[in-house]
Structure 1
């Protein structure tokens, strides 16, 4: 079940959901409008699933940054989210989709106990200028059924994410 804006706001007040920084004006009927952070990693090289990926990291200036087709960009959310009670799901939204920006297509689920600033997969179909802290998508919160198992307590691969994470699939090769 998807939480409503009132339930999200109440859950933030009680500590069942953490959104930092939180701004109640960013609530929509069933979601919270998250923003792009100020850092981006760019990959212009070939990738190999069995090796760490090479990216250059850049700060997005206040004047904006133009993203180009044919590159992989990894960004990060401005907000950090966390809940030991609810699962989370993050997506881009129509406002950036209409600009030809596809964001976070492959991994939208944040497990119960996942405390992160989300790493964002970003691709563009045409050159487009983006800005730090611009609205970039929506996050929803979902109630779970059954006994919760915390992502943090399970010690999963991305438990300690604090910024932009590149793929760690190479850790499974051995």
Structure 2
């Protein structure tokens, strides 16, 4: 079951959902409109799942930053969100898609107990200028069925994520280039 905008507001007021910073005007009928954070990482060269990804980090200037086709950009949400009660579903929105930007298509599920600023996978189909803190997508909250299983309690690899995280899949590959 997906929460409506008023239900998100009520759950936030009750302390069951955290959104920081929060702006009630960003609620839509079934989601919260999240914004792109201030920083990007541009992944360098060919990527290898068995080794840590190298990136160049940049702060998006107020005048904007042009995303180019080809590179993988890692960004971050401006808002930190989480809930012990609800799962989260983060997606881009129609406006971003209509600009030829694909954002966060591979990992949209936020588990219960995981309060984070989301790392975003971003690709551009054509050169497009983006700006810090512009609306970039929608965050929905879902009522899970069954016993609660908090992400924090399981101590999974991204438990303490607070900014842009590169893939840590190399930690699972035997004989990989672990740092």
Q: Fold-level match, TM-score > 0.5?
A: yes
- Does residue 116 in structure 1 map to residue 116 in structure 2? yes
Match of 1:36 in 2: 36
The equivalent of 1:142 in structure 2 is 142
Residues 38-93 of structure 1, C-alpha deviations (whole Å, 9 max, x = no match): 00000131111000000011000001000000100000000000100000000000
In structure 1, stretches of 5+ residues that fail to align are none
CA–CA separation in structure 2 for the residues paired with 1:63 and 1:141 = 33
2:177 is matched with which residue? none
How much has 1:136 moved relative to structure 2?
Answer: 0.1
1:63 aligned counterpart, secondary structure: coil
Per-residue CA deviations over 1:94-137 (Å, capped at 9, x if unaligned) read 01100000000000000011110000000000000000000000
Tell me the SS of whatever aligns to 1:57: strand
State the alpha-carbon separation in 1 of the partners of residues 43 and 112 from structure 2: 30
More strand by share: 1
* RMSD between aligned residues: 0.5
Structure 1 stretches of 4+ moved >2 Å? none
SS in 2 for 1:117: coil
- Give secondary structure in 2 for the equivalent of 1:69: coil
Partner of 2:11: 11
Tell me the TM-score normalised to structure 2 length. 0.96
Once residues 126 and 145 of structure 1 are traced to their aligned partners in structure 2, the CA distance between those partners, rounded to angstroms, is 41
TM-score by length of 1: 0.99
